[in-house]
Amino acid sequence: MTTLSKKPTRQVRRALARQTPEQQSQRLTDQILSEAAAQASVAAAAQITGAHLTDAELHTWRQDMEARLRVIQQHPEQNLGHIEEELARLAKEPLRLLAERAAQAKANATACQCLKCQRELIHQKFISRRVDSRFGSLLLWRRYGWCPHCEGWQFPADHALGLGRQAPASPYLQEISALLVSKMPAEQAVLVAERLGLDLSRCGMHREAYRQGLKAQARRAEAVAELDTWEDIQKLSRYAEGPPVQPFTLLIQIDAWNIRERDDWGQTEALRQQGKKPERWHWVYLATVFRLDHRGQTAGQRPFITERGFVATRGGIESLTAQLYREAIARGLGQAQQVLVIADGAVWIWNLVKDRFPNARQQLDLYHAEEHLWAVAHELYGRGTPEALAWVSPLLQQVREDESPAVIATLNELKPRLLQAQQEKLQSQIEYFEHNAERMKYKEIIAARKACAAGSATAEQIKLANQPLGSGAVESTCRQYQCRFKRTGQFWTTPGDEALMCLETFWRNNRWPELYPHAKPTSAMN
């Protein structure tokens, strides 16, 4: 970085004092020359009002490009891939020049005013900075100054250009760092970026992605805080409303999984000596929200959901609840005819639902209920035995016919015949079914599906048949997040994983352009 301030630092003054007169005069000459060059460079930069390439520049570039393409054309072993690669590489320099000049013109056109109070800045000077961009390194000169009112040095052009204060990445490289590192480990991301013609190792891709994750978390916190007043909720709700729609059911599924984190960074040895492991497992809370009429099937019978919202956080149940509530409002909580929550039997989930979605219909994931019966069967008769199957089959049938009281009665009858240890295990299963009895209503859905298959379904049944029996949608979402955040041998720190998970969730929720306004929203980011 070069500044045009003239006063040498104390260190420089001391070094100068130690030099011989010849050295000093040589140094002075160098200094005068470099200052003159910097002055000329600022003067030239300050003149730029638009991005142009000169005819001479274009001419040289064109000749070079055509010559290189001729070489490839005549090379027996080079193909279209070589042509693509060479063109992308060659096009970078003229584009870099244009980007540098366009950014300089924008910096020049930016008023040198305080960003907070709009007052004109004083002690204005020019300072240069390097920016890593999509097309390579750019050198920019921008004016900065002091705001006596807010008491701070400010760089209004950096703000106008979307540049971070201490980070060299341009907004595009900020975005690409965030995108790639939230999808794959940073070491791989650097290599992928390199193949795509981006030099991201220089801007410290991992650090940049983390910075972006913090930005995303700040935006997320703002979005949740926006729900503080009734008007705000109405606004978000209206945004979700769109054109009038048919009555619909809003479906919420909630789950949690474990992530491995290394606690207390830097204290690994100390912890080991105390006989403690430096790693721990932490909960990641996850939820997904969508309208039932947005759920369909592909030609190959694979279920898909056209529009859905996601929430994922390491920040505890309270944080999950606040984020989920916001997402539910944005997805039509206020307009839904019915809200349905499907989840496994975890107590915290149903407490959350009672607290935030008191009118929602609650449904226990059918497959979890079945697993609990299988666990009893395995305990009694052994895993995979015909006796276990024979015992469990009528009970599975009863669950599907909404006869949970009969299931509980069977389990209770069984108890006196068991050993003490088995009785205790069985008791916990009995309690599971007792606590969830009201949430076990599957009969009508199954009947509706059968009627659809037989072609005799009523309109009501056609709708009902589309209602899921289990929480497969959130479970598959968990698996997708785990692909990135639960790899073998991978450790996370809480701030690191929350930041990247937050980026991933913005992407999935189609809210990427909120973080990167230059990015066009894609139709199916999830």
Binding positions for Zn ion, rule: CB under 5 A: 114, 116-117, 147, 149-150
Q: In what order do the strands lie in the sheet with 152-154?
A: 122-133, 136-147, 152-154
Identify which of residues 117 and 454 has a Cβ nearer to Zn ion in the complex: 117
Question: What minimum distance in Å lies between the beta carbon of 162 and Zn ion?
Answer: 20
Residue 15 or 150: the one with the smaller Cβ distance to Zn ion is 150
Contact 147, 119 (CB under 8 A): yes
Of 72, 61, 128, give the one whose Cα is nearest residue 97: 61
Between 121 and 330, CB nearer to Zn ion: 121
**Helix ranges restricted to H, 358-493:** 366-381, 386-400, 404-414, 420-436, 443-454, 459-465, 472-485
Residue closer to Zn ion by CB (options 36, 122) is 122
In terms of CB distance, is 150 or 389 closer to Zn ion?
Answer: 150
**Residue 289, SS3 per DSSP:** strand
Element (H, E) at 312: strand 308-313
Smallest separation (angstroms) from Zn ion to the CB of 111:
13
Phi and psi at residue 152, to the nearest 5°: -165, 150
What SS3 class is residue 302?
coil
User: In the complex, what is the shortest distance from the CB of residue 118 to Zn ion, in angstroms, rounded to a whole number?
Assistant: 7
CB closer to Zn ion, 118 vs 385: 118
Minimum distance from CB of 125 to Zn ion (Å)? 17
Q: Report how far residue 87's alpha carbon sits from residue 198's, in angstroms, rounded to the nearest whole number.
A: 15
Tell me the closest approach of the beta carbon of residue 116 to Zn ion, in angstroms: 5
Instruction: Show the tokens assigned to 405.
Output: 């009281």
Please, are residues 406 and 398 in contact by the beta-carbon 8 Å criterion?
yes
Nearest to Zn ion of 149, 450 (CB atom):
149
In terms of phi and psi (left: phi > 0; alpha: psi -120 to 50; beta: otherwise), the region of 136 is: left
Q: How far is the CB of 476 from Zn ion (least distance, A)?
A: 50
User: Shortest Cβ distance from residue 479 to Zn ion (Å)?
Assistant: 50
Is residue 39 helix, strand or coil? Answer: helix
